[in-house]
Amino acid sequence: MLRIAMAGALILGLASGPAGADTVADFYRGKQIRFIIRAGVGGTYDLYARLLGRHMGAHIPGNPTILPVNMSGGGGIKAAMYVAELAPRDGTILSIVSEGLAADQGLGLNPSFQADLREFNWIGNMSSAGQVVVTWHTSPTKTLDDAMKRTTVMGLTGAGSISVQLGAVLNNVVGTKFKLVVGYPDGNDVNLAMERGEVEGRCSSPWPSFLAATPHYVLDRLITPLVQVGLEKEPDLPDVPLLRELARTEQERQVLDFMSLAVSIGRPVATTPGVPAERVAALRKAFDDTLRDPAFIADAAKERLEIRAMGGAELADLVRRVIETPAGPRERIKLAIQPKNAVNLPGAKSGNE
């Protein structure tokens, strides 16, 4: 009798694994996943999301189609609030989330942002490249020292964006004299403003994003990198100072290290809170498999989109660490991240990068 019971349990156990996979496949078969993109068409959030969307469906059990949906506004806040509060909680939503929102939540910067990113189900990070602050080639500001001596007009996007946070930290901690013009609807609009001479530079964009979206900026030396922000230097920029190396005191180090950690969130992909665990696991595996897919790799290379992958569990831990910064450093960081020399762009909607 014991042998029969054990055999029955073994058969049941063997059946449970494939059954779980079949359940996920049955759910996704014939369905459409909407991929919410926190920016307008043509920026790097959009490019990365569409690249992933073209390939990931083939790796999800049941092979659903993936439809990109651009939802710009508030430096990514509009899209994040939709994912947190309105979107279906069944695994039929993916979203590329603004990298600045974890810092925003952790520091309580924006009352309009009420979501808890720790409740999102994080799928993976496509690129953890650092940010670079640049000036246009016609600007007299060519170095970080120049930026500490003269007023330099810099274009920024919305209140929830990393560009506003970095501009404020550079002014308040490092000592730059940036005049921050806040509210350009898209990173592409900041680029156009530089080209037209409305602003002298941009705070900020990942270096690989310049290479992907505007390679002529780099090849023709139309932009000058002043400082880079991340956990390590970009291989192409060995002589450009790294923000975290500029700290003069322990208090400054805490602020600059926080920003360096926050930007490594990069181009993160999540699904909504409340998705069944087996679907989250399937989406994470599909993300990992996609980024190893030769067709995806070739497509990314064709679009000059650098992939520096981070798994969903590691990304979730990184988001939690940024949000749960201890109270003492948090207050110093919160003061440092408030823009004091900023003007709002008349008639502009805040939004994207």
Model confidence at 8, in pLDDT bands (50, 70, 90)?
Answer: very low
d(CA 114, CA 116): 7
242 Rama sector, left if φ>0, alpha if ψ -120 to 50, beta otherwise: beta
Could you give the residue range(s) of every CATH 3.40.190.150 domain in the chain?
A: 28-127+266-326
- Tell me which residue of 210, 209, 219, 106 sits closest to 160, measured CA to CA: 106
Q: Give start and end residues of each alpha helix (H) in the chain.
A: 2-28, 44-56, 77-85, 101-107, 144-147, 162-169, 187-196, 207-213, 215-219, 250-263, 277-292, 294-302, 312-323, 327-336
Tokens coding 36: 């919410």
Quote the CATH superfamily of domain 28-127+266-326: Bordetella uptake gene, domain 1 (3.40.190.150)
Q: Summarize the chain as % helix, strand, coil (round to 5).
A: 50, 20, 35
The answer for residues whose C-beta is within 8 angstroms of residue 46's C-beta and 6 or more apart is: 37, 39, 40, 68, 70
DSSP string, 24-37: HHHHHTT-EEEEEE
Residue ranges, CATH 3.40.190.10, the chain: 131-263+329-344
| Contact (Cβ atoms closer than 8 angstroms) between residue 246 and residue 174 | yes
For the ranges 38-42, 304-308, 317-321, 324-328, the one whose mean pLDDT is highest = 317-321
pLDDT at 157 (0 to 100): 82
In 230-342, which residue ranges form alpha helices assigned H by DSSP?
250-263, 277-292, 294-302, 312-323, 327-336
Single-letter amino acid, residue 177 = K
Please tell me which residue, 296 or 211, carries the higher pLDDT value: 296
Beta bridge partners of 205: 132
Give the whole-angstrom CA distance, residue 217 versus residue 219.
6
Is 295 exposed, middle or buried (CB count within 10 Å of its CB: 0-12, 13-18, 19+)?
exposed
pLDDT given at position 20: 57
pLDDT higher than threshold 50 for residue 350? no
Task: Match 């003061």 to its residue by tokens.
Answer: 335
Q: Please name the helix (run of DSSP H) or strand (run of DSSP E) that holds residue 181, with its range, or none.
A: strand 178-182
- The predicted model scores a pTM of 0.79
Q: Is 199 helix (H, G, I), strand (E, B) or coil?
A: coil
Full DSSP string of 93-108: EEEEPPTTHHHHHHHT
Q: Which residues pair with 311 in a beta bridge?
A: 124
Asked if 42 and 188 touch (Cβ cutoff 8 Å), the reply is yes
For residues 149 and 177, the answer to whether their CB atoms sit within 8 Å is: yes
Between residues 106 and 345, which one has the greater pLDDT? 106
**Is the pLDDT reported for residue 115 higher than 90?**
yes
Residues in the chain: 353
Per-residue pLDDT reduced to its tens digit, 252-264: 999 999 999 888 8
Ordered strands of the 223-229 beta sheet:
223-229, 131-136, 201-206, 152-156, 178-182, 342-344
The CA-CA-CA angle for residues 150, 153, 154, to 5°, reads 125
CATH class, domain 131-263+329-344, is alpha beta
Give mean pLDDT, residues 272-296.
98
190, 203, 102, 185: which is closest to 351 by C-alpha?
A: 185
Render pLDDT for 88-114 as a digit per residue (tens, 0 to 9).
Answer: 999 999 999 988 899 889 988 888 888
